[in-house]
Amino acid sequence: MDEDKYTITDTKQDILSHPTRHNVIHILTLDPVLADDVSERIGADKRLVRCTQVCPRGATVRDALEAMERVAPETASARLIIFDVRRATLPRLRHVFNAVVGYNRRDLNSLCYHICIGDGPLNLFRNGAFVELFVPHLAANRVDFQPAVFFYDPFLHYEPGETLLQSIGDDLELANAVPKRLAPFFKSDSMKISTIRHFFRAVDKDDQTRKKRQRMLRHVYKKRLAEVFPGHNEELKALLSREGVQWASERMNLYPLYFEDWVCELIRRARENATKN
């Protein structure tokens, strides 16, 4: 018997890791309005000019899901993946997201990073609770996605009764009206989320105008959160900062405040980690 034929050589290669990654950012959402906002913010940032975006879309939900399924293996070459984890769409995206996390699990928070954007707990405004509701919500996302940072987006959060109940077999209809708790800050009741996002990202304006509108949005957030969550001044101050608020191992920021900064930071970390290996 030829024993050499059955000799196993350890090449010391980790086949679950994908070290050959590039400055590629995958944006995974079924919401074209949020997709445009994330994509245009990244595209307008001069620090990210060398990054390539991949944002699968489709004329229907089924088409978009199929497009995401096709590109899921390609996420193994990305340095950053952005997940839309809102309640309305997560059940439809769960199998795609599981596949993407699986392809990148070995490299998470080293060669590849995740950002989650979500709408927070359903009953967030019911009893004035804040930490008590967000910590388990963030912990659940930690288990599923291991995000480097979670962005809570107040414009995604609708209270029970503000949106139609939909089963997973229905055609998806995402709300485009301003959530009632934020509506008083805007002149017209008919103003749409798409219009508001376009106004505040101001990618077609000069730097001074963009900074001014960012301050305006920060003021809206600060005033509304202070009204809803009295007695949490220090936590809200942290939440409005670049670093965000942190409870134990869970970190949360407000979308889109400092969003581009975090994208730049995570791309930088992934690139530097790759040079160390």
96-123 pLDDT, tens digit per residue, is: 999 999 999 999 999 999 999 999 888 8
Of 26-30, 148-152, 246-250, 269-273, where does mean pLDDT reach its minimum?
246-250
Token pair for 170: 């229905």
With respect to residue 12, please indicate whether it lies within any of the assigned structural domains.
Answer: no
Please give the pLDDT value at position 167.
52
Please give the pLDDT value at position 101.
96
Task: Give the CA count within 13 Å in the CB-facing half-sphere of 140.
Answer: 11
Which residue did the predictor score with more confidence, 217 or 13? 217
Most confident of 15-24, 58-67, 164-173, 176-185: 58-67
Instruction: Kindly give the residue spans of alpha helices, DSSP state H, lying in the chain.
Output: 32-44, 61-71, 90-104, 131-145, 193-201, 207-228, 233-239, 259-276
With respect to residue 189, please indicate whether it lies within any of the assigned structural domains.
Answer: yes
Which residue did the predictor score with more confidence, 250 or 87? 87
* Chain segment 226-237, per-residue pLDDT in tens: 888 888 888 889
pLDDT confidence of 187, banded at 50, 70, 90?
A: confident
Q: Which of 149, 58, 63 is nearest to 109 (CA)?
A: 149
pLDDT at 10 over 60: no
Report the CATH number at residue 76: 3.40.50.2300
**What is the pLDDT averaged over residues 191-220?**
94
Please give the pLDDT value at position 142.
92
**What is the pLDDT averaged over residues 20-43?**
96
Q: Give percent above pLDDT 90 in the chain.
A: 64
* Residues of the domain holding 209: 21-157+167-276
Please give the pLDDT value at position 161.
76
Query: In the chain, what's the furthest Cα-to-Cα distance?
Result: 85
Domains identified in the chain, total number: 1
With respect to residue 8, please indicate whether it lies within any of the assigned structural domains.
Answer: no
pLDDT at 263 over 80: yes
With respect to residue 11, please indicate whether it lies within any of the assigned structural domains.
Answer: no
**What is the pLDDT averaged over residues 81-96?**
94
With respect to residue 197, please indicate whether it lies within any of the assigned structural domains.
Answer: yes
With respect to residue 183, please indicate whether it lies within any of the assigned structural domains.
Answer: yes
Please give the pLDDT value at position 226.
87
Our CA angle for 225, 82, 103, nearest 5°, is 140
With respect to residue 121, please indicate whether it lies within any of the assigned structural domains.
Answer: yes
With respect to residue 193, please indicate whether it lies within any of the assigned structural domains.
Answer: yes
| Average confidence score pLDDT of the chain | 88
Task: Name the pairing type of β-strands 149-152 and 245-247.
Answer: unpaired
Distance CA 200, CA 37 (A): 10
